[in-house]
Structure 1
Amino acid sequence: MNHRQLRYFCEVARQGTLARAAERLCVAPTAISMQIAQLEQGLGGELFDRAVKPMALTALGRFFLPRALQLLDHGEQLEKEARDIAVGNAGWLGIGFVRSVMNSFLPAAVRRFRALRPGVRLELIEMLSEHQAEHLRSGRIQIGLSRYARLPEPPADLRHTVLFEDPFLVALPAEHPLAAQAVLSVTALQEMELISYPKDPQSSFAQNITAILQAAGVRPRVGHEAIEIHTALGLVAAGLGYAVVGASVARRGTADVAFVPLQGLDARTTVLTVTRADDQGPLTASMLQALDQAARDIQAN
């Protein structure tokens, strides 16, 4: 039993004669007759009563017709979905992201992508930069959005594409006396406690921030460790210390936290996409374009 046999059978059942079915299908009546005969041979019984005009369905034919129509419908739907996936109009895309990018360009990139490819299901999974490689390799995600204080060398099987370099700001309690300054000397942080993040054994971000502050002449005193950046900013708002963040994080700041540029701290954090080196899929390419454009937009504004 094949797709052609099912199609020919269903059309003859609709039209009542081989001649009308052949005309609708633009094939010879003998071709239809041969295919239906082969179908009947495979099923072990006749589908049509050929002794009457127009041909009538047998009991087997009446049983078989609705199921054959359903199979044809499923086959057409499968073909359409496969075509949509092949050209990138449907499917699934997993994106792993560090939480700080949700404060800047990621929402705009998602809106742009969904406008272009509304049939694609997006799964956004929050994960630290150091955890993204394993999920890229396993296929759980196709794109990682990472942030590094010191950019590592990419493994051979992964591709790093820098989106932008983000200058550091200090996050202070909004009521702190230093929060009103336009620019703050990095040495002014010496008397305050650092709120370090993320607290994760695989992440080097917190250690790199400490090393960057030390290189700038500050001996940071870690007062609290937060698992992720939003918790760190909450601790800042509570007056428990300061945090060092990328400037793009301040785009969605809250009224109880002030973000002040730092003088004497020339280091920057790098925001980048991470993909498998062998991934040439249209969905990945389309999302990478959306991310790149959204990142360019926030840097221009």
Structure 2
Amino acid sequence: MNLRQLRYFCEVVEAGSAALAAKRLFVAPTAVSMQLAQLEEHFGDALFDRSKRPMELTSLGKYFYPRAKELLSQARRLDEEARGIAIGNRGWLGIGFVRSALFSILPATIRRFRASHPDVHLDLVEVLSEYQAEQLQQGRIDVGISRFIGRFEQPTDLSFRVMMREPFLAALPIEHPLAAQDSVSALEFAQLPFILYPKDPKSPFGQQMVAVLRDAGASPLVAYEAIEIHTALALVGAGLGGTLVGQSIAENNRADVAFVRVHDIDESAAVVAMTRKFEESKLVAAFLESWVHVYSDR
């Protein structure tokens, strides 16, 4: 049994005769009759009752017709989707991201990517930077959006592309006196209790932020540890202390938090795109290109 036999069979059912089906298929009537005969030989029974005029489906034919139609429909969908994947317009793309990317990096990039690739399914997976390499190696994600301070481990089977570097801003309670200033020093900022994030044994990011402040001559006191950045900013908004964030995180953020430049911190956070080395996916390339365009337009 093959797809041609199914197509010819369904055409005969819908046209009402082999002769009319042949005209609609632009083939000779003998070609249609031969395909039907082969199909019936395969099943060992007739699909049509040819003693009646017009001929009717047998019980086998009545069972087989709707299922053959569905199989042909699935084959067409498979063909369209496979062709779409081949030219990079359809498919599935796994995106791993750190939660801080939700503030501006990820939404803007997704909007641009979706505009040109509306039929691609995006599987969004929230995962800390330190876990993204393993997810890529396992095939769980295709792109990792991560954030690092200073040097970081780079497995040789992966590629790392620094997409942007962001200065740190102090996140302060909106009613704190420092929130009214255009900028603060690390020493001034460190007078507030420090809220460290993310709280995870594998992530050094929080301690690296503390080290950045110490390198600037401050001595921050870690008063709270938050599992992720949204919680940390909620604690800041509640007036419990301050924390450091990348500049993009200040966009469209909380009304109860002020974001102020720290003028004596030279260190920045690198926002990095991780992919598998020698990645050939057109969708991965298109997603990264969308990211580049979003930030070149800013």
TM-score, with structure 1 as normaliser? 0.90
Greater Cα shift, 251-260 or 9-18:
9-18
Return the letter of the residue paired with 2:177.
P
* Cα distance in 1 between the residues matched to 2:250 and 2:266: 18
Aligned runs of 1:211-226 on 2, under 5 Å?
A: 211-226=211-226
Q: Does the 8 A contact of 2:187 with 2:219 survive in 1? A: no
Q: Distance in 2 between matches of 1:53 and 1:24?
A: 20
Number of residue pairs the alignment of both structures matches: 298
Cα shift at 1:4: 0.9
Structure 2 residue matching 1:120: 3-state secondary structure: strand
Distance 1:122 1:30, change over 3 A: same
Q: Give 3-state SS (helix, strand or coil) of 2:67's partner.
A: helix
Greater mean alpha carbon deviation, residues 73-82 or residues 48-57: 48-57
Change (3 A) 1:150 1:62: same
| Counterpart for residue 81 of structure 1 | 81
Q: What is residue 268 of structure 2 aligned with on the other side?
A: 268
Matched, 1:66 2:66: yes
The alpha-carbon distance between structure 1 residues 262 and 14, as it changes in their structure 2 partners (threshold 3 A), is closer
- Residue 136 of structure 1 corresponds to 136
- Residues 296 and 272 (structure 1), Cα distance of their counterparts in 2 relative to 1, 3 Å cut: farther
Q: 1:171 Cα deviation (Å)?
A: 1.3
Post-superposition shift, 1:54?
Answer: 4.9
Change (3 A) 1:230 1:32: same
1:104 maps to 104
Corresponding residue of 1:95: 95
* Structure 1 residue ranges without an equivalent (≥5): none
Q: Secondary structure at the match of 1:191?
A: coil
Counterpart amino acid of 1:210?
V
Matching residue of 1:282: 282
Task: Tell me whether 1:178 sits opposite 2:141 in the alignment.
Answer: no
Offset of residue 122 of structure 1: 1.9
The 2-side partners of 1:188 and 1:9 are apart by 81
2:29 matched residue in structure 1: 29
Tell me the distance in 2 between the aligned counterparts of 1:15 and 1:188. 84
**CA spacing shift, 1:184–1:61, aligned 2, 3 Å:** closer
Which residue does the alignment assign to 1:147?
Answer: 147
Equivalent runs, 1:6-21 vs 2, <5 Å: 6-21=6-21
Contact 1:151–1:270, Cα closer than 8 Å, also in 2: no
User: 1:4 matched to which residue of 2?
Assistant: 4
Structure-2-length-normalised TM-score: 0.91
Alpha-carbon distance in 2 for matches of 1:62, 1:174: 72
Q: Is the 8 A contact 2:172 2:242 kept in 1?
A: yes
Hey, what's the Cα distance between the residues in 1 that align with 2:14 and 2:238?
74
C-alpha deviation, 1:271, in angstroms: 0.7
Percent same amino acid among aligned pairs?
A: 53
Distance of 1:72 and 1:253 partners within structure 2: 50
Whole-angstrom distance in 2 between the partners of 1:238 and 1:58: 75
Partners of 1:52 and 1:189 in 2: how far apart?
92
What is the match of residue 45 of structure 2?
45
Secondary structure of 1:70 counterpart: helix
Counterpart residue identity of residue 236, structure 1: V
- Name the amino acid aligned to 1:214: R
Q: Structure 2 unaligned runs (5+)?
A: none
1:193 aligns with 2:193: yes
The separation in 1 between residues aligned to 2:175 and 2:51, in whole angstroms, is 95
What RMSD over aligned residues (CA atoms) do the two structures have, in Å? 2.0
